[in-house]
Structure 1
Amino acid sequence: MADNKFAAYLCAGCGLGDVLDIDGLEKIAKKEGKMQVVKHHDFLCSAAGVQMIRDDIANEGISHLMIGACSRRAKTEAFNFPDVSVARANLREGVIWIVAEGATHDEVRQEMADDYVRMGCAELKKMLLPAGSTGRGTNKRILVVGGGVSGLTAAIEAAETGYEVVLVEKAPALGGWAASLWKRVPYQDPYAEPQATGIEELIARVSLHPGITVHLGATLAETAGAPGRFAVKIAQESGAVVQEMVGAIIQASGFSTYDMARLPELGAGLPGVVDQAGLEALAQAARGGAIERADGQVVQSVVFVQCAGQRDATGTHLPYCSGHCCATSVKQAMYFKDANPDIDTVVLYTDLRLPGMSEDFYRSAQRKGVTFTKGKVSQVKAQGAGCTVSFRDLILDEDATVDADLVVLATGQVPNSGVNIDIPEDQQPEVKPVSILNLTYRQGKDLPQLKAGLTDSHFICFPYETRRTGIYAAGPVRRPMDMQQATDDATGAALKAIQAVENAMLGRAAHPRSGDLSYPIVRLEGCTQCKRCTVECPFGAIDEDERRFPVFNESRCRRCGTCMGACPVRVISFENYSTDTVGSQIKSLDMPDEFSERPRILLLACENDAYPALDMAGLSRTVYSAFVRAIPVRCLGSVNTIWITDALNSGWDGVMMMGCKKGDDYQCHFVKGSELAHYRMSKIDDTLKGMGLEPERVASYEVAITDHQRVAALINDYAEKIKELGMSPMKGFN
């Protein structure tokens, strides 16, 4: 610390100088914050203001600087000083824009600004400049697992960008499901007719590309390592095992069709009943001519049954819609109409879902004479050489039947995700899935999956990104989709894989804190070997050595701080984010006494959703209580319970936590953070009782990034609750 020099820079622009005592803030930064250099500027983010800071860094040897201005989410480019530690005090969105105007509010507004300057200085004192991960990876090759449309697209996109690609396909040939299609749903103008799949051209591009190495008839025997240094053992049909070193992995293992045998009520097993994949095989054999059943009977009438074994709320079949099936049935209905316009062609649907340009495709099918009937099918049974389909007509609200030579069931997509570690052994399916990646992670051999077996990724903010850093999911393995969506998906995954290998080489986080140079540091001499950090890490970034001490794999780390929040003895930290950087802010306030009737409410706000929502409240000039003091945290999973007890012991009257939605449809950027925080806080009631405090003094809320009006209401309601409870009795002990 002897070589460090601390400075505070305050902005008077954007109205700050009009309503705040900037001179008073300077005095606080100098006297209480112990800043060696304190300056203000009329517009700190201007070229002149930024240059003033740069000059001080160069000439005065400033190593740490606190900027009291706008939110840390604003002016990030202007206030980018990568060679020094930077803390931000939010005086604009967090103070002057959320406190009501008028002389009666001047004092509480100034108190709020004073505290934020104190907190910014306190945080700065505990910060170090991150040096970047020591466990850097230098390999930039990209492994693609799967040779269907998704895998081929990811491979060619990465290779065309200049990165070497290794592609592994378990089948003896490339192409996947697309190679078995006669035609595809139109993906380019005029969107009126089924179009050629184009799979042969895509296969040729991949096979002939000098930057792509293809392993056919091969599977992954083992996947070890981390971004920038994955070691992959590829088992070939000959029995040989080849090892490849890669920097990132894209799992594009595709899907299988839902087992039609599980639908006996819909005629599974009858010669006149096929699924959509079965019909493609018949169409391939016909090559544009009259389609015949497998037994040789020419089809003169056909019925398509949508949502066969899909969108099932009972838990018996697939709970989701497979997305492509409606358009696929329209395409297949056209196979018949194009071969013979007199063929009676009916599509029975509950909801017809054809987004985008597929609407034109649907209209084209209508013009060709395809009949679309809204109905719920209850039974398909044999009738002579064909079948009878019984259904409830949802328009006429009556039971009806229709006869057909052929019934086509839209059975949907089942992802080839590998082993689901979250399913207990006694609940595993009869045919257990085979591992795709064979990871050497302590958390399991494959990527974590959602309840339906889809490979988990953050579907809202971070598609493709899985819970295994540097390993991405693309195509129907992550969510049901058609060929065009799979192409787009694979392109996105390729770009993410490129980002991962580049960040790994620089020792930076891959996502969502992309570019973050900090990484977890542990004081092993204080570690109690409780294993909470290894168990709670959502990303498999922590292993254990032979002495059961944690071993951090920095390249896998997302920098969420979940391990820091889990550690009961607080020996895990980051250079610029630690129990001390937050704890010192909590203790830095000028705490009013118990008779002041000015409570202090600590708000620990997730930087990904809650803090942006607070900023939006400020931008929209939404007023909320000036008694709150917000501290952004990387994730609620990083919140250590010591912060809560320290705050309450220090006289804070209440503690609010705001984070992302948890559960199966989570929105937490770090997957498990909100869930873990909720679990930890559920056990804090005993601590509060021991302190003689009401449980209501600690509250947790789920908020979305769009909830700027709601966060203000939550704060105001909570402030009223604290008013009812009264000031904390702990103030008298400080």
Structure 2
Amino acid sequence: MDKIVPKIGIFIWNQGGRLSQPIDLESLVKKFTKAKNVARCEIVDELWTPAFFDSLENGVENKQIDRFLWVGRFTPYQMKHIKGQLSATGLNPYLHEWVDLEDQGICLKGTAAEIRAAKAAALMQMALARTRILEPLEPIELPASDAILIIGAGVAGLHAAESLAALGKQVHLVEKESGVGGKVALLSRFYPRICDPHCGLEFILQKLNESDHVEFHTLSKVEALSGSPGNFMATVQKKPRFVSETNCNACGECMTVCPKEIPGAFPVSNDMKAIHPPIPMPFPSAFVIEREHCPPECRECEKICPAKAVDLNQTHSEEQLRVGAVLVTTGWDIYPLSKVEEYGYGRYDNIISNLEMEQLLSSHGRQQTHPGKLSLSGLKEVGFIQCAGSRDERHLPYCSSVCCSATLKQILYFKELVPDAKCYVFYQHIRTSGFEEDLYRRARESGDVTFVRDRPAKVECDNQGKLNVTVLDPLLDKRITMNLDLLVLAGGMCPSGGSREAAQVLKLPQNPYHFFESHLQCHPEESQRTGIYVGGSCREPMNVSQSIDSSHRSAVQALKYLEGTVRIEPTYPVVNKTKCDQCKRCMEECPFSSFVFDEKGFPAPDLARCRQCGNCMGICPLAVISLNHNTIKQMAVQIEAINTSFMGKKEPVILALLCENDAYKAARAAVDQGLSVPPNAIIIKVSCAGSVNNALVADALSLGIDGVLIAGCKDDQCHYIRGSKLVQKRSGDLSDKLKTMMIEPERVRFVNLEIRDANKYVAVLNTYIKDLKGMGPNPFKI
């Protein structure tokens, strides 16, 4: 193949004379017109005229120009417009380079004219060196499924399923229980309207039942997940129901002959037969048999079933589902209140959890099948202890955010059912955010509801079964004792067992509280595994409406993998296998677990999973991984082109490698705000601080640059999870290398910069310059 000789057009946009005032543009044009590979170099005062763009298009079509270097301040919209305009000629959009002299402080007052001129020339020389080796790139289209797997058929999963099905996406809804609805199906009432949650659930289930795009997999679990976003393969194992979902019409005849009663789902729930409707909600309608409880050889249900739906020979089955994305909505569990020993949960029948209180309220008016079960009748004084095990370093250190409102809702409904009862709320703080404050006001005004700002140290039960609760009343400034008929503990929300299982199967990171990890500030739907999203209270404690909102956001983000194809932007990493020693550092350190082994044992990025952050490029000890359009070679030629003496002999020159998300924008803001930014720094924008390879830093110092500043996000704010941490992690390797070069490791500095840290950026530069002056010039500087 013949070597391509670049034909570069350089165009300096002197908008309103902004650049010609601080620097001599004519001398720059004269200098770069003679530069290698430059076909055309000129100043443009009126950029957006048809005549100018006609001349560019003619230059491309006549093969006089095959790539462009634009000098000046261009907005993202203007860049996109220019690339789009010239793409009509067949010019690849990746054959444009941009250098903003204003961002680099050229126009700031107080800098000597000769320094401005030298710095402008150095910046243009760097950009020209990169432009010479730009390559045309094209996106890749990968085939993808239009189906999604939703794990968990609670309120969050059901609403996400309905929205996706309405868009024509195939939905596989996997639920480990025999029925759907999750915790919400166990509630007595919703707040703030105090309405029956089954109404909303039935409404959404009716839509799902009518859809041709939804398939329910109850009594099922995801056992394995392989493949990539757009092309996942899920292995789903289904337990036997022992009843045909097709034949059963839920007539209930089987329950009339079943001889075996088993405990209900909660201590306050009715007992049920070994064959019973699905729980927590009877959807699908087919009954389920708890076969392990059946008497030996009993087949009474099979004999009486008029639909011949009972099949006692059913066995476990396994199914493979090809899906484009996965949405995890595995909900929450209540904290095990038996661990909060001082409150007596599990020792006394009339001490129950807030979730059990929901069941007790739901059972009002229904006949109890067991005389020992709790009921509302006879309750005269009821206590509610808030934060039972929450906001407590021994148990859950966090607030679950919903418990106060849930308690107030329960009191309002309980008072509606038993108007003469007295209620006592023992609390640290009442937290009812937003419109939920109305619940607090209504509860206080409902009568016979007392709020006591103290939590009992201990609960005891007397001989009559009354619960003796002693607290310090801060208003009376003395201890008071209540004799209660029932005590309700507001247990906090913790990750469900299903969440823990999903984390293991799907290899999802979890935060210190074992909820799924995500970048809550910017990408709350993320699971840190591309193509796998989280929604609802498996992400963090939240109420029902927040769970629905959360799952919808996740569903929207998943759509990109459900369109039949997945578009991969061409700026993905490439591994040079001829130099790779298979050390696996890239596989171990990739924040998104994007690397896999190819058929020859070399690491290869799974392009559908890759976020193109560049951390693999930064971590590679042999520098054999590069991001397309931001390669190590392209950065190296920029660094080689820097005039290390543009500041003169006494002033140090700094190479600033700044994360494009935060640090670069802070530096730009410092210029825009007119701060006194030292001219010593030459900025190169990088995708992430973690993408900076130690080899580039060492090269910069070996070429005579006095100091290298790497700036990225704070550790817990990085959009790519741990880019900044990876820089610091490999700082030891860099220090050792610099010592062998007889260069002070202190010449390299890493700092955290947030997007509005303009003043901090200036302060960092000033301190750094002072320190570098103390060290003296780089010994490699010529």
TM-score of the two chains, using structure 2 as the length reference: 0.83
Name the residue aligned to 1:424: none
Name the residue aligned to 2:744: 694
2:537 pairs with 1:476:
yes
Per-residue CA shift, 1:333-361, capped at 9, x if unaligned? 11222223332222222222222211223
Per-residue CA shift, 1:115-157, capped at 9, x if unaligned? 32222222223332332247x2321222211101111111112
Deviation at 1:63, TM superposition (A): 3.8
How far apart, in 2, do the equivalents of 1:64 and 1:382 lie? 85
SS of the equivalent of 1:573 reads strand
How far apart, in 2, do the equivalents of 1:195 and 1:16 lie? 68
Name the residue aligned to 2:733: 683
Counterpart selection for 2:27 from 24, 28, 41 = 24
Per-residue CA shift, 1:33-55, capped at 9, x if unaligned? 74333233225467776666555
Per-residue CA shift, 1:312-352, capped at 9, x if unaligned? 33xx3122221211211111111222223332222222222
Counterpart selection for 1:150 from 156, 162, 175 = 156
Name the residue aligned to 1:268: 345
Gaps of 5+ in 1: 420-432, 440-445, 509-515
Q: How many residues align?
A: 690
The residue type equivalent to 1:483 in the other structure is V
How far apart, in 2, do the equivalents of 1:506 and 1:555 lie? 7
- Structure 2 matches for 1:448-459, cutoff 5 A? 448-459=509-520
2:171 pairs with 1:165:
yes
How far apart, in 2, do the equivalents of 1:726 and 1:546 lie? 51
2:103 pairs with 1:107:
no
The residue type equivalent to 1:281 in the other structure is Q
Say if 1:302 and 1:346, in contact at 8 Å, map to a contact too.
yes
Per-residue CA shift, 1:145-185, capped at 9, x if unaligned? 11011111111122222322221111111211111111112
Name the residue aligned to 1:347: 425
Say if 2:657 and 2:686, in contact at 8 Å, map to a contact too.
yes
2:396 pairs with 1:318:
yes
2:686 pairs with 1:626:
no
Deviation at 1:646, TM superposition (A): 0.6
Name the residue aligned to 2:263: none
- Structure 2 matches for 1:585-734, cutoff 5 A? 585-592=638-645, 596-662=649-715, 666-732=716-782
2:97 pairs with 1:91:
no
Name the residue aligned to 1:511: none
How far apart, in 2, do the equivalents of 1:393 and 1:499 lie? 57
How far apart, in 1, do the equivalents of 2:22 and 2:762 lie? 21
The residue type equivalent to 1:21 in the other structure is D
The residue type equivalent to 1:151 in the other structure is G
Deviation at 1:74, TM superposition (A): 6.6
Counterpart selection for 2:359 from 281, 285, 289 = 281
Name the residue aligned to 1:427: none
Say if 2:10 and 2:38, in contact at 8 Å, map to a contact too.
yes
Deviation at 1:91, TM superposition (A): 1.9
- Structure 2 matches for 1:347-366, cutoff 5 A? 347-366=425-444
Amino-acid identity (%): 32
Name the residue aligned to 1:368: 446
Say if 1:617 and 1:708, in contact at 8 Å, map to a contact too.
yes
How far apart, in 2, do the equivalents of 1:127 and 1:464 lie? 35
Say if 1:522 and 1:571, in contact at 8 Å, map to a contact too.
yes
Deviation at 1:62, TM superposition (A): 4.1
- Structure 2 matches for 1:97-496, cutoff 5 A? 99=108, 101-102=109-110, 104-133=111-140, 136-186=142-192, 193=194, 196=197, 198-238=200-240, 239-269=316-346, 270-286=348-364, 294-296=373-375, 298-313=378-393, 316-369=394-447, 370-383=449-462, 384-391=464-471, 401-416=481-496, 433-435=500-502, 438-439=505-506, 446-496=507-557
How far apart, in 2, do the equivalents of 1:385 and 1:712 lie? 71
SS of the equivalent of 2:550 reads helix
Say if 2:119 and 2:646, in contact at 8 Å, map to a contact too.
no
Per-residue CA shift, 1:513-556, capped at 9, x if unaligned? xxx33222112111111111111111121112464311321111
SS of the equivalent of 1:730 reads coil
How far apart, in 2, do the equivalents of 1:87 and 1:249 lie? 38
Name the residue aligned to 1:533: 586
The residue type equivalent to 1:159 in the other structure is A
Q: Rate the CA distance shift 1:578–1:465 in 2: closer, same or farther, 3 A.
A: same
The residue type equivalent to 1:208 in the other structure is E
Name the residue aligned to 1:580: 633
Q: Rate the CA distance shift 1:107–1:379 in 2: closer, same or farther, 3 A.
A: farther
Deviation at 1:386, TM superposition (A): 2.8
The residue type equivalent to 1:707 in the other structure is D
Counterpart selection for 1:39 from 8, 19, 42 = 42
Say if 2:230 and 2:566, in contact at 8 Å, map to a contact too.
no
Gaps of 5+ in 2: 241-315
TM-score of the two chains, using structure 1 as the length reference: 0.88
SS of the equivalent of 2:322 reads strand
Deviation at 1:647, TM superposition (A): 0.9
The residue type equivalent to 1:634 in the other structure is S
SS of the equivalent of 2:658 reads strand
Q: Rate the CA distance shift 1:73–1:389 in 2: closer, same or farther, 3 A.
A: farther
Q: Mean Cα displacement is larger for which, 39-48 or 142-151?
A: 39-48
Structure 1 stretches of 4+ with a deviation exceeding 6 A read 45-51, 394-398
2:576 pairs with 1:523:
yes
Deviation at 1:201, TM superposition (A): 1.0
How far apart, in 2, do the equivalents of 1:201 and 1:348 lie? 37
Deviation at 1:307, TM superposition (A): 1.6
The residue type equivalent to 1:416 in the other structure is S
Q: Rate the CA distance shift 1:378–1:88 in 2: closer, same or farther, 3 A.
A: farther
The residue type equivalent to 1:468 in the other structure is R
Name the residue aligned to 1:425: none
Say if 2:385 and 2:490, in contact at 8 Å, map to a contact too.
yes
Q: Rate the CA distance shift 1:438–1:33 in 2: closer, same or farther, 3 A.
A: farther
Deviation at 1:493, TM superposition (A): 0.2
How far apart, in 2, do the equivalents of 1:466 and 1:51 lie? 48
How far apart, in 2, do the equivalents of 1:48 and 1:543 lie? 51
Deviation at 1:581, TM superposition (A): 1.6
How far apart, in 1, do the equivalents of 2:599 and 2:38 lie? 45
Say if 1:33 and 1:121, in contact at 8 Å, map to a contact too.
no
The residue type equivalent to 1:141 in the other structure is A
The residue type equivalent to 1:701 in the other structure is V
Counterpart selection for 1:64 from 59, 62, 67 = 67
